[in-house]
Structures are given as structure tokens and as C-alpha cells.
Amino acid sequence: MRLMLLTAGSRGDVEPFAALARCAAAQGHEVRLAAPENPGADLAGLDTVGLEVDFQRLVGTQGASPWTAVRHYRAEVGPGMRRMLSAAVRETLAFRPDVVVHHPKVLTAPVVADALGIPHVVVETVPVLTPTREFPAPGVVTRDLGPFNRWTYAATRSAARMFRRDIEEACAQLPGSTPAAPPSAPTASLVPISPQLLPRPADWPASTHLTGAWHDDAGAPELDPAVLRFLRGGAYLVATFGSMAAGDPSSRGRAVVESARAHGLRTLLLTGWGGLALPDELRGDDVHVARSVSLDAVLPGAALAVHHGGAGTVHAVARAGIPHVVVPFLADQPFWGRQLHRLGLAATPVPRKHLATARLTAAVVEALSCASTAERVGREIREEHGLQTALDVVLSC
């Protein structure tokens, strides 16, 4: 089959799609992956095209907060989304696939699939599209509303209305006139989340598939020799806030390093898109700073990880079998912080604005007490076959 994969967002949004593309290509399918520019993910060996938007630059200029995105809509977000939506239509038409698999942000994917008369499958990297009574839509509200939880999922449909005119303009490329009717519902929804971290809600429809995490088993890339030397030097923690950059990165770096030292741990500080920085006075042999490394290569030997709670990082840490301290910033991150704590895998989440040495030091104590549970859950996750489960669903459409 010819599979068109379309994704948008940061590294955590691109890596699962890249893993699915490799899995499908290895089994003889023709796969093209459309992704943002400068995605921060390894796309080597894949048939890729760009979607003419750089989410890293958008975050660098206007931040990741939804409120700043609204304020900068005219200058940055709007033009970027228009380019992406148009490129998604153009590249899908050029490839002529048998099925489209897409991220929810790629709002033109269902329309172009309908125009081609092919099925489309949506990927809920965050479970915000399929309503359930069991939890509110992550990132919409922060407390359980019981029987009203299902109502919170209506908020996620507002994006399509917000970009309605951009969608229409992008779809002007389609043969004939742009359809007046709403696009068809997806044939299936794939949720690349481990059931060890989120049991399948009983009220999800059969068309929504909790596949397990999408992890590329090809093996972690080789690490820089300096990182390898650091890892061999004794017990350490890993700190990363991924694409999160709001606030004071030096203050956060100070809290992480001082908390690690309070427990006799060294620190691998991953600065990512700018969310962490090391103050000069805290430099030492017990701290190694890098912009980015393969988490699969450095997490298994760590005592714990301090991170923002993005879904990709959550799964990488959980798969490694080590405990978490989650410092959520926005979107689904508070949801994951609460969920991991509820499962006994993480300390009580530390709000970003309350991150300080004393509070983080206490959180590290709590997280280390979760080590045995984290190790058990890690073994279970490593036995999952999320990519194959997902691919089987796509091929059956």
C-alpha cells in the first residue's frame, strides 16, 4: 500500500510518525512522511517532504503557550498554519496514497482524503479527540468532572472552526470545487499510548485503538564520547524540558543541579529548545550539558528523570523503567503528571512556577521511592508491539 503520513508539532509529535513510517517501509509498503521543517527527530532513510513550517522557530519567537499563540496569530501562527495546511494538500495529491494517516493539527488531511476517495486515520498523540466519561480532555480542564467529562472534548473541535478559512483556501488546490459538507469522520483513531499508563476507557468506540506506544526498536544511536564518559562516572539523573522554554531556564537549571547534589546524584542536563540552562557557578564534573541526546540511550542507566510531562518523554522514561518527577508547563502535561503519580510511577507533580531547590529535592525523594513500580511497568511496556498493532489497523482500512 501507499501510505501518506502527515504530522505537525515538536519532536514528540514527529518521532512516533517516523517510527510508524519505518515499520511500514520495512514491511514493503510505500511510505511518505510529511513533517515540519527542523523537527529535531531522526528522519534518516525515510521518504520525507516538508510542510513549510518550523515549530521550533515559532516557539522561539512567540512561546508555546496557547495564549501567546493567539496574540501572535496574525504575524506568526496564522501564516505558519496556512503554509502547513496548503503543503499537506499539495504533497498528498502528489503522492496519491491509498490511505492518509495524520496528526490532528493537519486539519486539511480529512478533506484531501475525501477528495481522493480514500480512508483517513487520525493519530491522537494526546487523547483529546475521543470523548470519555473517565477523564476530561487533557489540557482543557485540570479536574475530574465526572459525568460531564465528555463535554470537555467539544473544545478540541474549535481549532477546525478557528482555521476554517485557511482550510478552505488550502483545499482550493483540490480537483473541482472544495466540498461544502464537513469532511468524513476518520475510519479509525490510533492512540499511541501504553495501556500500562492509560487503561482503555470502557466507553471508547471500537474505532478508537489504544495501540501501545510507538517505539522504534532499531536501537539507540551512538552517543558522543563525552556523554558516554559522563554516564560511566556514577549515579545520575536526566533533566529535560523538551520544547518548553517559557520562564527562567537558569533558575530551573539551578534547582535541578542542587537537588541532584543533595542526593549524591550527578546531572545530565538537556537544554532542548531552551528550557534549561546551567548557571556558571554550578559548573562541575558532576554536570554534563547537552542540547539533545537519544533518551533511549541515556535513560536506562539513570536513577530518575525530571521532565515536563510531554507524552513522548513520558513513554521514554516509563519504558526505561525509572521514576519521574514531572514539572508540567501546559497542554496535556498536567494530565500526565497526575496520572503517573496516581500509578505510583512519579512524585507529586511540581508546578513550573513553584520549581525551586527545596521543593524539587523533596520530589526526588518521593520519586526514588517509586523505583520498584517503575521497573515493573517498564518491563511490561517493553513487551508491547504498538507499531505493529497500529500498522495492522491502518492496513485494514
pLDDT tens for 219-261 read: 667 788 999 999 999 999 999 998 777 778 999 999 999 999 9
> Which residue did the predictor score with more confidence, 52 or 354?
354
Q: How far apart are CA 301 and CA 17, in angstroms?
A: 27
- pLDDT (0 to 100) of residue 245: 73
CB 380 within 8 A of CB 321: no
Q: What is the mean pLDDT of the chain?
A: 89
Q: Distance from CA of residue 392 to its chain's centroid? A: 22
Contacts of 293 (CB under 8 A, 6+ apart): 223, 224, 227, 268, 270
Q: Which residue has the cell 508546578?
A: 351
Contacts of 277 (CB under 8 A, 6+ apart): 249, 250, 252, 253, 271
Q: How far apart are CA 248 and CA 377, in angstroms?
A: 33
Q: Which of 279, 150, 240, 244 is nearest to 203 (CA)?
A: 150
Q: How far apart are CA 114 and CA 183, in angstroms?
A: 7
Q: Dump pLDDT digits (tens) for 34-52.
A: 999 887 788 889 999 999 7
User: Could you count the other beta carbons within 10 Å of the beta carbon of residue 118?
Assistant: 18
Strands 48-50 and 236-240: unpaired
- pLDDT (0 to 100) of residue 74: 53
CB 183 within 8 A of CB 114: yes
Across residues 160-184, what is the average pLDDT? 79
User: Could you count the other beta carbons within 10 Å of the beta carbon of residue 177?
Assistant: 8
Q: What sign results for the dihedral spanned by CA atoms 8, 14, 16, 18? A: positive
- pLDDT (0 to 100) of residue 197: 97
CB 190 within 8 A of CB 388: no
Give strand pairing partners of 4: 32, 100
Residue type, 396: S
Beta strands in 48-133 (DSSP E): 48-50, 99-102, 120-123
CB 159 within 8 A of CB 107: yes
Q: Which of 78, 79, 190, 81 is nearest to 129 (CA)?
A: 190
Q: How far apart are CA 88 and CA 113, in angstroms?
A: 11
Q: Dump pLDDT digits (tens) for 92-149.
A: 999 999 999 999 999 999 999 999 999 999 999 999 999 999 999 998 887 888 889 9
Contacts of 73 (CB under 8 A, 6+ apart): none
- pLDDT (0 to 100) of residue 265: 97
% of the chain beyond a pLDDT of 70: 92
41-45, 361-365, 383-387: least confident range: 41-45
Q: Which residue has the cell 518550523?
A: 54
CB 260 within 8 A of CB 268: no
Give strand pairing partners of 2: 30
Residue type, 206: A
